[in-house]
Structures are given as C-alpha cells and as structure tokens.
Amino acid sequence: MPFNSKIFQLTIPTPFPVGSVNIYAVRGPKGYYLIDAGVITDEARKLISEWLPGPLSGILLTHGHPDHLGLAGELSKSNNCPIYMNSDEHRRSQNPSFRQRVMAVLMQKGGVPIALVSQVIESHQNSVQNFFSEFEVKKILPGQQFTTDLGLLEAIYTPGHSIGHCCFYISESRILFSGDHILTSISPNPLLDLTMDGSRRLAYVEYLNSVNKIASLSIERVYPGHGPAIDNLERVLSKFYTFHAKREKGVLAALSDQMKTPFEVAKKIYPGVKDLDIFLALSRVWGHLDLLEKQGKVLCLEKDNLVYYCQP
C-alpha cells in the first residue's frame, strides 16, 4: 500500500481484556505527531522509547481511555510538546472515579440487582489502572488541522464510543486513524454514560451518527486503535450494519410479551452474562432501546426509580 513507509506503527500489549493497542507516528514540520500514547506499563515505556522515530512535536489523543491516554503525560514532558485532546475527554480523564459512579447509578436504574451492581463495580476497579496524572492539554477542536508529510491531518469529532472521541483523517492520503471508533475484530460498544450535568448520554445514537460521518469520507485505509489496518472499510461497515439490524430485532422481540427493564432485556439476549460483561451487555441493549424509542418503536416508562420499556 502507498504511504505505509511514512506511517510508523507500534503495537503494545496491555493488561486489559482488549489485548494489545496500536500507536502511530507521522512526521510534521518540527517533529513527529504521536497518535495515542499506549498504556502505563514498564514494557510500554521501553517499547515506545526504542521505537520512536524522532522527537515529538505533539501528542494527539483519540480519547481518554487508559489504553490510549497511557504515557501521554510522560512523553509530553520528556519531548516538551503539547498533548491535544477533546476537552470533555480531558475532564473525564482527570476524574477516574466518575465512571464508576456512572456505572452504579445507571445499572441500578436499568434494573440490575444491587448485589450484582457491587460485583460489577468491584471487577471494574480491579481491571483499571490508576491512570490519573497531571498534565497540560490543548483543547482539540473539530476540524483542527496539523501539517504532516502525508498531507493535512484533520481532527474529526466522532462521539459515541466515548464522550469526545476524535478520529484523525488525512484526505490527501485517504487515511483515517480511527482510535476505538472503527475496529474490525471487536464491535465498539458505546458504554452507558452520563454527561457532566448528570443527564444520560445517548451514546449509541451518537455512535451511529459518527459511523455515518466516517462512511461519507473517502478512505482507502483505516489505522485502528486495536487490530490490523483495514483496507475494506465498506465491508466492515456493512457487517456492522447487518449486526446492528439483527440485534435491534432481538431487542424488539424481547419486549413482545410485557414491559421489561433494560437488564431484563439484556438477560434474554445474553443469557448467563456475568461480571463486567453485565455492564457491557446492558450498554448494548440500552443503546438499542434508546434508538428504538427515538424511532417510536418502543415506549419508555419510569417507575420507582427504575426504567422500563415496552412496545407501543
């Protein structure tokens, strides 16, 4: 493929269930731009320092999850270069306990029994690193551009997977760095979330809009945050839309007899689900319920601080 020689890629193992993560470097006029910053482990520190093709002039973060934010603070200090990141993502990364509070509140509202909620929170605590660190961040704006050897690299705002996720697009080279927005082997699951003011984010609805945004771009190759490069974006997207339609049907069918909480629907679709997967399954199902509600195919009712859905 063309341009490969100008893109430096490193794959780093992580302690998370997702497996390894990719980071990339492309050359700019005053040094390299790093896209994502791996994970906070000694192994990642060593791998990155051996791999870096030259001094950095900026660190561009797709989002603030610990396997992407990783060593950004340290690398920014040692290279004396700024970190660019969406401001909502930055705020979240400064407040790691927020996610667990969000999980607890939404699981209870979605009908997960309290004992299970505690179990899920515990397994989440065990699976995340303490990734909080103080560092200066420059706010990245949608459409912001950076000059590189491959052409102008543009930040494309793609919320969904996380509140302020950004992809980076080089139209001249028809290349997209997709973070966790587009992946081949894992279906990116927009997790249940609250905005900073406490209202529920319609993460899956946002995600679908962001997928459509990417589908409208001319792209030859996608460099994702996990897994190999994608040269057949159209096929990956069409697989995603098929999967989406199948799951939507399943969620509707689960509501055919009576009204149910999102957790009751999740148990029908993912029987035997446990631990952290409960939150993932709940996020998937609730995302579809949000979308179906927007389309007028289901109704939402609230009773005793629990949310129920039914067919109209």
Residues that bind Zn ion in the complex, under the rule CB under 5 A: 65, 180
The H-or-E segment that residue 46 falls in is helix 42-51
Closest distance to Zn ion from the beta carbon of 213 (Å): 18
The CB-of-294 to Zn ion minimum distance in angstroms stands at: 24
User: What is the nearest approach in angstroms of Zn ion to the Cβ of residue 128?
Assistant: 12
Residue 240 CA to residue 124 CA, distance in Å, equals 27
Q: How far is the CB of 114 from Zn ion (least distance, A)?
A: 28
CA-CA distances (angstroms) from residue 43 to 20, 40, 149? Answer: 12, 8, 29
Toward Zn ion, which CB reaches closer, 58 or 188?
188
Which is nearer to Zn ion, 89 or 180 (by Cβ)?
A: 180
Nearer to Zn ion, 65 or 90 (CB): 65
Residues ≥6 apart with Cβ < 8 Å to 84? 58, 59, 60, 61, 137, 138, 139, 140, 144, 155
Closer residue to Zn ion in complex, CB, 27/284: 284
Closest approach of Zn ion to the CB of residue 74, in Å: 20
Least Å from the CB of residue 180 to Zn ion: 4
Closest CA to 192 of 124, 260, 268, 272: 124
Residue 305 CA: distances (Å) to CA of 98, 262, 287, 301: 20, 13, 19, 10
Least distance from Zn ion to the Cβ atom of residue 64, Å: 8
SS3 content of the chain, % helix, strand, coil (to 5): 40, 20, 40
Rg of the chain over all Cα atoms, to the nearest angstrom: 20
Entry field: residues in the chain: 312
**DSSP secondary structure letters along 175-198:** EEEEETTS-SSS------EE-TTS
Contacting residues for 225 by C-beta, under 8 A, at least 6 apart: 21, 22, 36, 62, 67, 68, 178, 179, 180, 183
Q: Which of residues 180 and 193 has its CB atom nearest to Zn ion in the complex?
A: 180
Closest residue to bound Zn ion by CB:
65
**Closest CB to Zn ion among residues 65, 109:** 65
Provide the angle, in degrees to the nearest 10, between the axes of the packed helices 233-254 and 203-215: 150
**Residue number with CB closer to Zn ion (97 or 258):** 97
